[in-house]
């Protein structure tokens, strides 16, 4: 009776061999096969969807916009993100380092890579005369002979006279025409006048005198102060102005050459006069020549 009351669709009735276990009989039944096929199909679909999402980076069309935004893949986030601003490398000019504790012509001279111009010419003069002043200082400490010190002092004076001449005749007037600060140029003229007065005293002085070396030293201090002001104030303004510095260099070089030529001619003339001293001239010269 128990077997008759059992439902027809139960797995127990489908067992062909009543002695085999229930689980084995269920595994062989159609219902188990159908369930297994359905599960396999479902898992295959889900795997296909996942692979499609990874490939395209988009959500299923059935999902809402909010759900799609929350479940967006990293690739999709990168695609939808706003384009990053392009980084532009800005080149800024380095701030110039301040001069050393002691301002000199060497550490205040402008360093440029442009075509040589009038400022470069004046800077070269500053550096050259600065080296001569240091050389004279060494001679004074060693108590070098008077002739040696006088020769070097005269060289310094000649260089400074030529330098101030080309500045006053060519460079400063061009700076005034370009609208450079008039007060700055007036101060430079006054400094030149003070230097010229001291140069005249040195040229007329005696190297064995007590104040000769001191005058050369004070002249060097005047020039150093003047040079530093030109390098830090005047020359930068000239660079930013409308001055034709390259053209001015040619004029200044020509004027400087003419000054040196005149000086050499004067020196040769004075030597000729010195050679003729003590020698007979006029009728006496003709008599001596006959003898």
**1, pLDDT greater than 50:** no
The pLDDT value given to residue 216: 95
Distance CA 1, CA 5 (A): 6
Q: What is the mean pLDDT of residues 179-197?
A: 94
Cβ neighbours of residue 269 closer than 8 Å, sequence gap 6 or more: none
pLDDT of residue 146: 92
Which of 67-81, 103-117, 156-170, 251-265 is predicted least confidently? 67-81
Cα–Cα distance measured from residue 276 to residue 281, given in angstroms and rounded to the nearest whole number? 9
> Residues 245, 238: contact at Cβ < 8 Å?
yes
pLDDT above 50: residue 282:
no
291: pLDDT confidence band, cut at 50, 70 and 90? very low
Q: What is the pLDDT of residue 6?
A: 47
Distance, in Å, from the CA atom of 131 to the CA atom of 155, rounded to the nearest integer, reads 12
The b/e string for 168-197 (b: 16+ C-beta within 10 A; e otherwise) is eebbbebbeeeebeeeebeebeebbeebee
What pLDDT is stored for residue 2 in this prediction?
A: 45
Distance CA 169, CA 256 (A): 11
Residue-wise pLDDT tens digits, 107-124: 676 665 568 899 999 999
pTM, two decimals, is: 0.55
Cα end-to-end span (Å), the chain:
183
Q: What is the mean pLDDT of the chain?
A: 76
């Amino acid at each position: 009776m128990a077997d008759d009351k059992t439902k027809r669709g139960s797995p127990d009735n489908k067992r062909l061999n009543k002695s085999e276990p229930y689980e084995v009989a269920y595994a062989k039944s159609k219902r188990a096969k159908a369930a297994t096929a359905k599960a396999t199909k479902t898992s295959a679909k889900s795997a296909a969807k996942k692979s499609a999402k990874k490939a395209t980076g988009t959500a299923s069309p059935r999902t809402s916009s909010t759900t799609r935004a929350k479940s967006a893949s990293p690739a999709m986030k990168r695609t939808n993100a706003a384009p990053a601003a392009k980084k532009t490398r800005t080149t800024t000019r380095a701030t110039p380092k301040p001069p050393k504790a002691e301002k000199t012509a060497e550490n205040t001279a402008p360093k440029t890579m442009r075509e040589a111009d009038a400022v470069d010419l004046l800077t070269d003069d500053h550096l050259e005369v600065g080296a001569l002043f240091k050389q004279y200082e060494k001679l004074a400490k060693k108590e070098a002979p008077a002739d040696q010190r006088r020769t070097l002092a005269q060289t310094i004076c000649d260089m400074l006279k030529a330098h101030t001449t080309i500045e006053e005749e060519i460079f400063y007037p061009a700076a005034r025409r370009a609208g450079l600060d008039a007060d700055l140029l007036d101060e430079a003229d006054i400094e030149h006048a003070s230097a010229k007065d001291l140069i005249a005293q040195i040229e007329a002085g005696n190297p064995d005198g007590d104040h000769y070396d001191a005058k050369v030293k004070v002249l060097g201090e005047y020039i150093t102060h003047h040079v530093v002001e030109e390098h830090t104030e005047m020359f930068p303004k000239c660079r930013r102005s409308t001055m034709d510095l390259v053209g001015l260099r040619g004029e200044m070089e020509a004027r400087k050459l003419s000054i040196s030529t005149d000086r050499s001619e004067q020196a040769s003339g004075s030597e000729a006069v010195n050679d003729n001293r003590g020698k007979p001239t006029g009728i006496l010269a003709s008599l001596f020549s006959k003898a």
